[in-house]
Amino acid sequence: MSAASLIIVDDEGAHMRALCDTLGFEGYRVAGFESPREALRALNEGECDLLLTDLMMPEMDGIELFRAARALDPDLAGVIMTGHGTIDTAVAALQIGALDYVLKPFRLNVILPVIARALEIRKLRIENAALHERERQQALELAAAYRDLESFSYSISHDLRSPLRAIRGMTQIYVEEAGDTLQPGARGRLDQVLRGAERMDQMIEDLLRFCRLSRAAPARYRIDLNAITRRVIADLQAADPQRRLEVRIDPLPDAQGDPGLIEQVMANLLSNAFKFTRNRADARVEIGSTTAAAGGRTERIYFVRDNGAGFNMKYADKLYGVFQRLHTQEQFPGTGVGLSIVKRILERHGGRIWAESAPDQGATFFFVVDQET
């Protein structure tokens, strides 16, 4: 790290030279001037970290000099040297940006800490200004990213769905008009087109939902997870009333967050549990909670457990990627977006999600809604 550069201005030449020699011996790069105007020319031509100037000088006083110097370099640190009778004036120098003053005559053990402190404050101010500039740039980049996201969402919603609607509509019209004249194989292929279009439409809708989660911060309300869980399960059972599945709901403590988003978390996790137990004659789903110590506080953990298909934990990192799936479409239909939405919702609440599973041994998804609980 290079030594700090100092300019010393004092119309008393002997005092100025002695101070330059002393501070140079202490490791600073020092230039001294008796004339404030010569000091300004030097400042204009080269860099300087700190201006150490006498207050009372015939050509230009220290306040005027420091004001002119700061006009050349706003980051310049300043220390004023003054006698006892002009302390009030020295305080006025502080008001225009000087960092400190020292009383003449002074000792070396007095002025060295003053200079070191002024240079440290200058360094902190520069670093703080750089930090604010980075934050400003990041804010601009974030705003641009949000605009791009809005444009992307609009493009998906309109530009992609328009031809998709045409494919579905024209195929459906053809199937209806052709009726019984279609060969079984041809009808099967057209039905496959319709199913593919419906699946793509669902993928677009899921992707739009995922994108919308990056916008406003979630609200914070008390959430009755018991009521949400019962409502979600009732909807799932109503959608497949012939299904035989044992559901156990332990009493769930309230959470804090956005009720609509947390209901989406429960809906995605429970619909997965219902789906992946489809081939079990003794299908079971359990919803409960537990607690664990985390960082000196008690963390409330909720879980959804099933005895369904399960998965290999070696591939667990793929669970939360958009359109990532661990089972084929033929085994278990879906778009592979649900868990990525769950993860995004919980992270925006300050929470997290993880899983434990094994193939054909079911799966348990644990989640924390808010780590500040």
pLDDT single digits (tens) 4-30:
999 999 988 888 998 999 999 999 999
Give pLDDT tens digits for 340-358. 888 888 888 888 889 888 8
Closest Cα partner for 20 from 1, 9, 117, 195? 9
pLDDT digits (tens, 9 = 90+) for 266-303: 888 998 888 888 878 888 999 999 988 776 678 899 99
Phi first, then psi, for residue 46 (nearest 5°) are -145, 175
Q: For residue 355, give the 3-state DSSP assignment.
A: strand
For 279-342, give the DSSP string: T-TT-EEEEEEEEEEETTEEEEEEEEEE-S----GGGGGGTTSTT--SS-TTTS---S-HHHHH
pLDDT at 327 over 60: no
Adjacent-strand bridge partners of 368:
352
Closest by Cα among 12, 164, 14, 153 to 81? 12
Q: Which two tokens stand for residue 365?
A: 């998804």
CB 73 within 8 A of CB 50: no
* Cα separation, 104 vs 101, whole angstroms: 10
pLDDT at position 202 is 66
How does pLDDT run across 49-99, given as a tens digit for each residue?
Answer: 999 988 888 888 888 888 898 889 888 888 888 876 566 766 777 777 777
When computed from its CA atoms, the radius of gyration of the chain, rounded to whole angstroms, is 36
Which regions of the chain does DSSP assign to beta strands (E)? 5-9, 29-33, 50-54, 77-82, 100-103, 221-223, 246-249, 255-257, 284-294, 297-306, 352-357, 363-368
Q: How confident is the model at residue 190 (pLDDT cuts 50, 70, 90)?
A: confident
* pTM recorded for the entire structure: 0.49
